Chains A and B, each alone.
Chain A
Amino acid sequence: MAEASTPTPFQALIDAHAGAVAVFLRGIVPADDVDDVLQETLVAALGAYPRFDGANPRAWLLTIARRKAVDEHRSRARRPDRLAEPDAVAAAGGRDQRGGELWSRVAALPPKQRAAIVLRFALDLRYREVGAALGCSEEAARRNVHEGVRTLRAAEADARLTATSEESPR
Protein backbone atom coordinates (compact mmCIF):
# COMPACT_ATOMS: atom_id res chain seq x y z
CA MET A 1 0.00 0.00 0.00
CA ALA A 2 1.11 3.52 -0.60
CA GLU A 3 2.22 4.99 2.67
CA ALA A 4 -0.29 6.84 4.81
CA SER A 5 -3.16 5.80 2.60
CA THR A 6 -5.78 3.41 3.93
CA PRO A 7 -5.74 -0.04 2.36
CA THR A 8 -8.41 -0.74 -0.23
CA PRO A 9 -10.72 -3.67 0.53
CA PHE A 10 -10.01 -6.43 -1.99
CA GLN A 11 -13.65 -6.50 -3.03
CA ALA A 12 -13.17 -3.04 -4.54
CA LEU A 13 -10.53 -4.51 -6.89
CA ILE A 14 -12.92 -7.26 -7.95
CA ASP A 15 -15.68 -4.72 -8.59
CA ALA A 16 -13.43 -2.41 -10.57
CA HIS A 17 -11.23 -4.81 -12.53
CA ALA A 18 -12.68 -8.34 -12.73
CA GLY A 19 -14.44 -7.33 -15.97
CA ALA A 20 -11.15 -6.42 -17.63
CA VAL A 21 -9.48 -9.60 -16.38
CA ALA A 22 -12.39 -11.65 -17.77
CA VAL A 23 -12.00 -9.98 -21.19
CA PHE A 24 -8.27 -10.70 -21.18
CA LEU A 25 -8.79 -14.34 -20.24
CA ARG A 26 -11.51 -14.84 -22.87
CA GLY A 27 -8.86 -13.75 -25.34
CA ILE A 28 -6.12 -16.11 -24.20
CA VAL A 29 -7.62 -19.29 -22.70
CA PRO A 30 -10.26 -21.72 -24.00
CA ALA A 31 -13.80 -20.60 -23.19
CA ASP A 32 -14.39 -23.60 -20.90
CA ASP A 33 -11.53 -22.53 -18.66
CA VAL A 34 -12.24 -18.81 -18.37
CA ASP A 35 -14.36 -18.96 -15.19
CA ASP A 36 -11.95 -21.26 -13.44
CA VAL A 37 -8.82 -19.30 -14.35
CA LEU A 38 -10.55 -16.05 -13.42
CA GLN A 39 -11.36 -17.42 -9.95
CA GLU A 40 -7.82 -18.78 -9.57
CA THR A 41 -6.43 -15.40 -10.54
CA LEU A 42 -8.49 -13.58 -7.92
CA VAL A 43 -7.75 -16.13 -5.18
CA ALA A 44 -4.02 -15.88 -5.93
CA ALA A 45 -4.28 -12.08 -5.91
CA LEU A 46 -6.12 -12.14 -2.60
CA GLY A 47 -3.37 -14.29 -1.12
CA ALA A 48 -0.67 -11.90 -2.33
CA TYR A 49 -2.67 -8.76 -1.62
CA PRO A 50 -0.99 -7.79 1.67
CA ARG A 51 2.31 -7.59 -0.24
CA PHE A 52 0.91 -5.60 -3.19
CA ASP A 53 2.26 -2.05 -3.38
CA GLY A 54 -1.09 -0.59 -4.41
CA ALA A 55 0.11 0.88 -7.70
CA ASN A 56 -1.88 -0.01 -10.82
CA PRO A 57 -4.11 -2.82 -9.53
CA ARG A 58 -5.46 -3.58 -13.00
CA ALA A 59 -2.03 -4.31 -14.46
CA TRP A 60 -1.20 -6.34 -11.33
CA LEU A 61 -4.31 -8.49 -11.74
CA LEU A 62 -3.68 -8.92 -15.48
CA THR A 63 -0.12 -10.09 -14.74
CA ILE A 64 -1.42 -12.72 -12.34
CA ALA A 65 -4.11 -13.71 -14.87
CA ARG A 66 -1.49 -14.26 -17.54
CA ARG A 67 0.54 -16.45 -15.19
CA LYS A 68 -2.54 -18.48 -14.31
CA ALA A 69 -3.40 -18.85 -18.00
CA VAL A 70 0.08 -20.21 -18.67
CA ASP A 71 -0.27 -22.65 -15.75
CA GLU A 72 -3.62 -23.76 -17.11
CA HIS A 73 -2.15 -24.26 -20.57
CA ARG A 74 0.65 -26.41 -19.11
CA SER A 75 -1.71 -28.54 -17.06
CA ARG A 76 -3.94 -28.95 -20.10
CA ALA A 77 -0.93 -30.14 -22.08
CA ARG A 78 -0.39 -32.81 -19.43
CA ARG A 79 -3.94 -34.09 -19.91
CA PRO A 80 -3.87 -35.75 -23.33
CA ASP A 81 -7.62 -36.35 -23.25
CA ARG A 82 -8.18 -32.63 -23.50
CA LEU A 83 -5.48 -31.89 -26.03
CA ALA A 84 -7.65 -32.98 -28.89
CA GLU A 85 -10.25 -30.35 -28.11
CA PRO A 86 -10.30 -27.52 -30.60
CA ASP A 87 -9.30 -24.17 -29.26
CA ALA A 88 -12.59 -22.74 -28.09
CA VAL A 89 -11.19 -19.23 -28.33
CA ALA A 90 -10.97 -19.55 -32.07
CA ALA A 91 -14.51 -20.84 -32.23
CA ALA A 92 -15.67 -17.92 -30.13
CA GLY A 93 -14.21 -15.40 -32.60
CA GLY A 94 -16.47 -12.67 -33.94
CA ARG A 95 -20.08 -13.14 -34.86
CA ASP A 96 -19.34 -12.44 -38.49
CA GLN A 97 -17.25 -14.84 -40.47
CA ARG A 98 -14.46 -12.44 -41.31
CA GLY A 99 -14.05 -11.50 -37.64
CA GLY A 100 -14.10 -15.18 -36.75
CA GLU A 101 -11.37 -16.00 -39.23
CA LEU A 102 -9.33 -13.08 -38.06
CA TRP A 103 -9.67 -14.12 -34.46
CA SER A 104 -8.71 -17.73 -35.17
CA ARG A 105 -5.46 -16.32 -36.56
CA VAL A 106 -4.95 -14.34 -33.36
CA ALA A 107 -5.36 -17.60 -31.43
CA ALA A 108 -2.56 -19.08 -33.51
CA LEU A 109 -0.06 -16.31 -32.67
CA PRO A 110 2.80 -16.92 -30.25
CA PRO A 111 1.36 -16.55 -26.70
CA LYS A 112 3.02 -13.26 -25.87
CA GLN A 113 1.94 -11.59 -29.11
CA ARG A 114 -1.55 -12.96 -28.66
CA ALA A 115 -1.74 -11.61 -25.12
CA ALA A 116 -0.39 -8.25 -26.27
CA ILE A 117 -2.96 -8.06 -29.09
CA VAL A 118 -5.81 -8.86 -26.67
CA LEU A 119 -4.68 -6.23 -24.18
CA ARG A 120 -4.24 -3.62 -26.88
CA PHE A 121 -7.31 -4.29 -28.99
CA ALA A 122 -9.89 -5.91 -26.70
CA LEU A 123 -9.11 -3.83 -23.62
CA ASP A 124 -7.82 -0.78 -25.46
CA LEU A 125 -4.85 -0.44 -23.09
CA ARG A 126 -1.98 1.92 -23.76
CA TYR A 127 1.36 0.30 -24.56
CA ARG A 128 2.73 1.26 -21.20
CA GLU A 129 0.00 -0.72 -19.45
CA VAL A 130 0.27 -3.59 -21.93
CA GLY A 131 3.91 -3.73 -20.89
CA ALA A 132 3.05 -3.58 -17.20
CA ALA A 133 0.61 -6.47 -17.58
CA LEU A 134 3.08 -8.56 -19.60
CA GLY A 135 6.04 -7.75 -17.39
CA CYS A 136 7.98 -6.08 -20.17
CA SER A 137 8.86 -2.55 -21.26
CA GLU A 138 6.51 -0.25 -23.11
CA GLU A 139 8.78 -0.59 -26.14
CA ALA A 140 8.70 -4.40 -26.00
CA ALA A 141 4.91 -4.29 -25.65
CA ARG A 142 4.66 -2.12 -28.76
CA ARG A 143 6.93 -4.52 -30.63
CA ASN A 144 4.84 -7.53 -29.64
CA VAL A 145 1.66 -5.88 -30.82
CA HIS A 146 3.21 -4.73 -34.11
CA GLU A 147 4.74 -8.11 -34.85
CA GLY A 148 1.43 -9.76 -34.10
CA VAL A 149 -0.44 -7.39 -36.40
CA ARG A 150 2.11 -7.93 -39.15
CA THR A 151 1.72 -11.70 -38.87
CA LEU A 152 -2.07 -11.35 -39.00
CA ARG A 153 -1.91 -9.17 -42.11
CA ALA A 154 0.45 -11.58 -43.81
CA ALA A 155 -1.77 -14.54 -42.93
CA GLU A 156 -4.76 -12.68 -44.25
CA ALA A 157 -3.00 -11.85 -47.50
CA ASP A 158 -2.03 -15.52 -47.90
CA ALA A 159 -5.58 -16.62 -47.26
CA ARG A 160 -6.92 -14.15 -49.80
CA LEU A 161 -4.38 -15.30 -52.35
CA THR A 162 -5.34 -18.93 -51.77
CA ALA A 163 -9.03 -18.09 -51.95
CA THR A 164 -8.54 -16.17 -55.18
CA SER A 165 -6.56 -18.91 -56.86
CA GLU A 166 -9.17 -21.47 -55.82
CA GLU A 167 -12.04 -19.33 -57.08
CA SER A 168 -10.52 -18.62 -60.49
CA PRO A 169 -8.26 -21.43 -61.56
CA ARG A 170 -6.45 -20.67 -64.75
Chain B
Amino acid sequence: MNADPKPGKMSDAELGAAARAATAGGLDLGALSAAVAERAAADGILDLAYSRVDSPLGDLLAASTPAGLVHLGYPNRPLDEQLGALAERISPRIVESPRRLDEVRRELDEYFAGRRRRFGLALDWRLSGGFVRRVLKETARIPFGETRTYGEVATAAGSPRAFRAAGSALGANPIPIVVPCHRVLRSGGGLGGYGGGLDVKRELLALEGVLELSKGTSPDPGRRPRRRHRGSP
Protein backbone atom coordinates (compact mmCIF):
# COMPACT_ATOMS: atom_id res chain seq x y z
CA MET B 1 0.00 0.00 0.00
CA ASN B 2 1.28 3.46 -0.81
CA ALA B 3 1.67 5.84 2.08
CA ASP B 4 -0.46 8.88 2.40
CA PRO B 5 0.79 11.28 -0.23
CA LYS B 6 -0.54 14.47 1.33
CA PRO B 7 -1.02 15.19 5.01
CA GLY B 8 -4.62 15.66 6.06
CA LYS B 9 -5.87 13.43 3.31
CA MET B 10 -7.41 10.02 3.97
CA SER B 11 -4.62 7.46 4.11
CA ASP B 12 -4.80 3.73 3.40
CA ALA B 13 -4.01 3.15 7.07
CA GLU B 14 -6.92 5.32 8.10
CA LEU B 15 -9.23 3.53 5.70
CA GLY B 16 -8.01 0.18 7.04
CA ALA B 17 -8.69 1.25 10.61
CA ALA B 18 -12.20 2.47 9.74
CA ALA B 19 -12.89 -0.73 7.78
CA ARG B 20 -11.78 -2.95 10.64
CA ALA B 21 -13.74 -0.92 13.19
CA ALA B 22 -16.89 -1.04 11.07
CA THR B 23 -16.73 -4.78 10.48
CA ALA B 24 -15.45 -5.98 13.85
CA GLY B 25 -17.62 -8.18 15.99
CA GLY B 26 -17.79 -11.44 17.82
CA LEU B 27 -18.84 -14.64 16.15
CA ASP B 28 -20.18 -17.63 18.04
CA LEU B 29 -19.08 -20.51 15.81
CA GLY B 30 -21.02 -23.08 17.81
CA ALA B 31 -24.30 -21.19 17.51
CA LEU B 32 -23.63 -20.45 13.85
CA SER B 33 -22.87 -24.09 13.03
CA ALA B 34 -25.98 -25.23 14.89
CA ALA B 35 -28.16 -22.74 12.99
CA VAL B 36 -26.61 -23.80 9.67
CA ALA B 37 -27.18 -27.46 10.57
CA GLU B 38 -30.88 -26.85 11.28
CA ARG B 39 -31.45 -24.95 8.04
CA ALA B 40 -29.48 -27.49 6.04
CA ALA B 41 -31.37 -30.40 7.61
CA ALA B 42 -34.67 -28.70 6.72
CA ASP B 43 -33.40 -28.42 3.13
CA GLY B 44 -32.34 -32.08 3.15
CA ILE B 45 -28.67 -31.28 2.47
CA LEU B 46 -27.15 -32.15 5.85
CA ASP B 47 -25.60 -35.57 5.36
CA LEU B 48 -23.88 -35.81 8.75
CA ALA B 49 -24.30 -34.04 12.06
CA TYR B 50 -21.82 -34.62 14.84
CA SER B 51 -21.20 -33.72 18.43
CA ARG B 52 -18.87 -34.53 21.24
CA VAL B 53 -20.55 -36.58 23.92
CA ASP B 54 -19.09 -36.38 27.38
CA SER B 55 -18.78 -39.79 29.06
CA PRO B 56 -16.87 -41.54 31.86
CA LEU B 57 -14.67 -42.95 29.09
CA GLY B 58 -13.75 -39.47 27.85
CA ASP B 59 -15.19 -37.35 25.05
CA LEU B 60 -16.87 -39.57 22.50
CA LEU B 61 -17.53 -38.40 18.95
CA ALA B 62 -21.07 -39.19 17.85
CA ALA B 63 -22.17 -38.70 14.24
CA SER B 64 -25.54 -39.35 12.69
CA THR B 65 -27.07 -39.28 9.24
CA PRO B 66 -30.77 -38.67 8.63
CA ALA B 67 -31.13 -42.48 9.00
CA GLY B 68 -29.61 -42.68 12.47
CA LEU B 69 -26.44 -42.98 14.49
CA VAL B 70 -23.64 -44.02 12.15
CA HIS B 71 -20.45 -43.53 14.15
CA LEU B 72 -19.38 -43.43 17.76
CA GLY B 73 -15.67 -42.82 18.26
CA TYR B 74 -13.38 -43.12 21.25
CA PRO B 75 -10.97 -40.33 22.16
CA ASN B 76 -7.96 -42.54 21.43
CA ARG B 77 -8.46 -41.60 17.79
CA PRO B 78 -7.98 -37.92 16.86
CA LEU B 79 -11.19 -36.04 16.08
CA ASP B 80 -9.91 -34.72 12.74
CA GLU B 81 -9.04 -38.21 11.64
CA GLN B 82 -12.49 -39.52 12.53
CA LEU B 83 -14.25 -36.65 10.76
CA GLY B 84 -11.95 -37.04 7.74
CA ALA B 85 -12.84 -40.72 7.50
CA LEU B 86 -16.56 -39.90 7.69
CA ALA B 87 -16.12 -37.24 5.00
CA GLU B 88 -14.46 -39.78 2.77
CA ARG B 89 -16.72 -42.75 3.41
CA ILE B 90 -20.09 -41.01 3.68
CA SER B 91 -20.07 -37.35 2.69
CA PRO B 92 -18.10 -34.15 3.38
CA ARG B 93 -21.37 -32.35 4.17
CA ILE B 94 -20.66 -32.52 7.88
CA VAL B 95 -21.69 -29.88 10.41
CA GLU B 96 -21.31 -29.87 14.17
CA SER B 97 -24.69 -29.83 15.88
CA PRO B 98 -24.97 -30.92 19.52
CA ARG B 99 -28.74 -30.62 19.33
CA ARG B 100 -29.06 -33.20 16.55
CA LEU B 101 -27.29 -35.69 18.80
CA ASP B 102 -29.40 -34.96 21.88
CA GLU B 103 -31.15 -38.33 21.78
CA VAL B 104 -27.85 -40.18 21.48
CA ARG B 105 -26.38 -38.15 24.33
CA ARG B 106 -29.39 -38.82 26.53
CA GLU B 107 -29.36 -42.58 26.03
CA LEU B 108 -25.60 -42.81 26.54
CA ASP B 109 -25.87 -40.72 29.72
CA GLU B 110 -28.55 -43.06 31.02
CA TYR B 111 -26.49 -46.12 30.11
CA PHE B 112 -23.41 -44.83 31.92
CA ALA B 113 -25.55 -43.84 34.91
CA GLY B 114 -26.83 -47.43 35.10
CA ARG B 115 -30.36 -46.44 34.18
CA ARG B 116 -30.51 -47.93 30.70
CA ARG B 117 -29.96 -51.56 29.68
CA ARG B 118 -30.83 -51.33 26.02
CA PHE B 119 -30.64 -48.60 23.43
CA GLY B 120 -33.61 -47.46 21.41
CA LEU B 121 -31.64 -45.35 18.94
CA ALA B 122 -32.12 -45.57 15.20
CA LEU B 123 -28.89 -46.89 13.68
CA ASP B 124 -27.41 -46.34 10.25
CA TRP B 125 -25.48 -49.47 9.28
CA ARG B 126 -23.98 -48.13 6.07
CA LEU B 127 -20.38 -48.26 7.29
CA SER B 128 -20.48 -52.03 7.44
CA GLY B 129 -21.56 -54.61 4.91
CA GLY B 130 -21.80 -58.32 4.28
CA PHE B 131 -20.42 -60.61 6.98
CA VAL B 132 -19.25 -57.67 9.10
CA ARG B 133 -22.74 -56.25 9.22
CA ARG B 134 -24.25 -59.65 10.05
CA VAL B 135 -21.79 -60.06 12.91
CA LEU B 136 -22.56 -56.58 14.22
CA LYS B 137 -26.30 -57.10 14.00
CA GLU B 138 -26.01 -60.35 15.94
CA THR B 139 -23.84 -58.56 18.48
CA ALA B 140 -26.50 -55.88 18.85
CA ARG B 141 -28.84 -58.64 20.14
CA ILE B 142 -26.63 -59.65 23.06
CA PRO B 143 -28.44 -58.42 26.18
CA PHE B 144 -26.94 -56.10 28.79
CA GLY B 145 -24.77 -57.94 31.28
CA GLU B 146 -24.28 -61.06 29.13
CA THR B 147 -21.36 -62.16 27.01
CA ARG B 148 -20.74 -64.35 23.96
CA THR B 149 -17.61 -65.78 22.40
CA TYR B 150 -16.28 -64.80 18.98
CA GLY B 151 -17.23 -68.27 17.81
CA GLU B 152 -20.80 -67.95 19.02
CA VAL B 153 -21.21 -64.65 17.25
CA ALA B 154 -19.69 -66.07 14.07
CA THR B 155 -22.12 -68.98 14.25
CA ALA B 156 -25.07 -66.67 14.80
CA ALA B 157 -23.94 -64.70 11.75
CA GLY B 158 -24.04 -67.88 9.70
CA SER B 159 -20.33 -68.76 9.51
CA PRO B 160 -19.41 -70.98 12.49
CA ARG B 161 -15.77 -71.32 11.48
CA ALA B 162 -15.17 -67.62 10.87
CA PHE B 163 -14.48 -66.70 14.49
CA ARG B 164 -11.29 -64.84 13.55
CA ALA B 165 -13.13 -62.88 10.90
CA ALA B 166 -15.79 -62.19 13.52
CA GLY B 167 -13.05 -60.74 15.71
CA SER B 168 -11.90 -58.35 13.03
CA ALA B 169 -15.51 -57.47 12.18
CA LEU B 170 -16.04 -56.45 15.78
CA GLY B 171 -12.78 -54.53 15.73
CA ALA B 172 -14.24 -52.50 12.87
CA ASN B 173 -17.46 -51.77 14.75
CA PRO B 174 -18.34 -48.17 13.85
CA ILE B 175 -20.90 -47.85 16.69
CA PRO B 176 -19.31 -49.36 19.82
CA ILE B 177 -21.18 -49.32 23.14
CA VAL B 178 -24.53 -49.08 21.34
CA VAL B 179 -23.60 -52.14 19.28
CA PRO B 180 -22.06 -53.87 22.30
CA CYS B 181 -18.97 -55.54 20.90
CA HIS B 182 -17.51 -55.32 24.41
CA ARG B 183 -19.82 -58.24 25.26
CA VAL B 184 -17.90 -60.57 22.94
CA LEU B 185 -14.96 -62.38 24.53
CA ARG B 186 -12.51 -65.18 23.80
CA SER B 187 -13.80 -68.69 24.30
CA GLY B 188 -11.28 -69.25 27.12
CA GLY B 189 -12.70 -66.25 28.92
CA GLY B 190 -9.94 -63.85 27.87
CA LEU B 191 -11.03 -60.36 27.00
CA GLY B 192 -9.94 -60.50 23.36
CA GLY B 193 -9.45 -57.10 21.73
CA TYR B 194 -11.19 -53.75 21.75
CA GLY B 195 -11.04 -50.70 19.49
CA GLY B 196 -11.23 -48.28 22.38
CA GLY B 197 -8.51 -50.12 24.30
CA LEU B 198 -8.82 -53.03 26.72
CA ASP B 199 -9.22 -50.73 29.72
CA VAL B 200 -12.38 -49.38 28.14
CA LYS B 201 -13.67 -52.90 27.50
CA ARG B 202 -13.05 -53.77 31.15
CA GLU B 203 -14.84 -50.65 32.32
CA LEU B 204 -17.88 -51.41 30.21
CA LEU B 205 -18.00 -55.01 31.41
CA ALA B 206 -17.66 -53.78 34.98
CA LEU B 207 -20.48 -51.29 34.44
CA GLU B 208 -22.66 -54.18 33.33
CA GLY B 209 -21.65 -56.29 36.30
CA VAL B 210 -19.86 -58.92 34.20
CA LEU B 211 -16.44 -58.04 35.52
CA GLU B 212 -15.39 -56.68 38.86
CA LEU B 213 -12.94 -53.82 38.70
CA SER B 214 -10.70 -53.57 41.73
CA LYS B 215 -10.30 -49.91 42.46
CA GLY B 216 -6.92 -48.33 42.02
CA THR B 217 -5.29 -51.35 40.45
CA SER B 218 -5.29 -52.38 36.86
CA PRO B 219 -7.17 -55.63 36.58
CA ASP B 220 -5.46 -58.65 35.16
CA PRO B 221 -6.30 -58.77 31.45
CA GLY B 222 -6.27 -62.56 31.54
CA ARG B 223 -8.76 -62.89 34.35
CA ARG B 224 -11.96 -64.69 33.57
CA PRO B 225 -15.07 -62.63 33.61
CA ARG B 226 -17.92 -64.08 35.53
CA ARG B 227 -20.16 -65.70 32.99
CA ARG B 228 -23.76 -64.76 33.35
CA HIS B 229 -26.81 -66.85 32.66
CA ARG B 230 -27.57 -66.85 28.99
CA GLY B 231 -31.06 -66.23 27.80
CA SER B 232 -31.89 -66.39 24.15
CA PRO B 233 -31.10 -63.00 22.61
Using CB atoms and an 8 Å cutoff, list the residues of chain A in contact with chain B. Answer: 1, 6-12, 14-15, 18-19, 22-24, 26-27, 38-40, 42-43, 46-47, 49-50, 89, 92-96, 98-100, 102-103, 106, 117-118, 121-122, 124, 149, 152-153, 156-157
Contacts and interface: CB of A to CB of B under 8 A. Distances in A.
Interface string B14-30: 11111111111101010
Contact of B87 (A6, A26, A103): A6
B43 A43 contact: yes
A93 B18 CA distance: 7
Nearest to A47: B45
Nearest to A54: B92
A121 B19 contact: yes
B138 interface: no
A10 B15 contact: no
Given A42-B36, A124-B16, A11 B94 contact: yes
Nearest to B86: A9
Given A38-B32, A39-B39, A102-B10, A9 B92 contact: yes
Given A46-B46, A99-B22, A103-B19, A14 B87 contact: no
B72 interface: no
Contacts of A95: 21
Nearest to B6: A153
A2 to B, nearest CB: 13
A42 B96 CA distance: 13
A157 B9 CA distance: 8
A49 B39 contact: no
Contact of A18 (B10, B32, B39, B91): B32
Interface of B: 9-10, 12, 14-25, 27, 29, 32-33, 35-36, 39-40, 43, 45-46, 50, 83-84, 86-88, 91-96
A118 B25 contact: no
A93 B22 contact: yes
Given A46-B36, A102-B10, A19 B19 contact: no
Given A10-B93, A103-B22, 18 more contacts: A7-B84, A9-B83, A11-B96, A12-B83, A14-B32, A19-B27, A27-B23, A43-B40, A46-B36, A46-B46, A47-B40, A94-B18, A99-B21, A103-B21, A117-B19, A122-B20, A149-B15, A157-B9
A50 B93 contact: yes
16 contacts: A6-B84, A11-B95, A12-B83, A19-B27, A24-B23, A26-B24, A39-B36, A42-B32, A43-B36, A43-B43, A46-B46, A100-B18, A102-B18, A122-B20, A149-B12, A156-B10
Contacts of B10: 102, 149, 152-153, 156
Closest 8 CB pairs of A and B: A121-B19, A122-B19, A99-B18, A7-B92, A94-B21, A26-B23, A9-B94, A122-B23
A95 B22 CA distance: 8
With most chain A CB atoms within 10 A of its CB, the pick from B19, B86, B95 is: B19
A14 B37 CA distance: 11
A136 B111 CA distance: 56
B25 A26 contact: yes
A65 to B, nearest CB: 13
A86 to B, nearest CB: 15
Contacts of B84: 6-9
B87 A8 contact: yes
B1 to A, nearest CB: 9
B92 A8 contact: yes
Contacts of B9: 153, 156-157
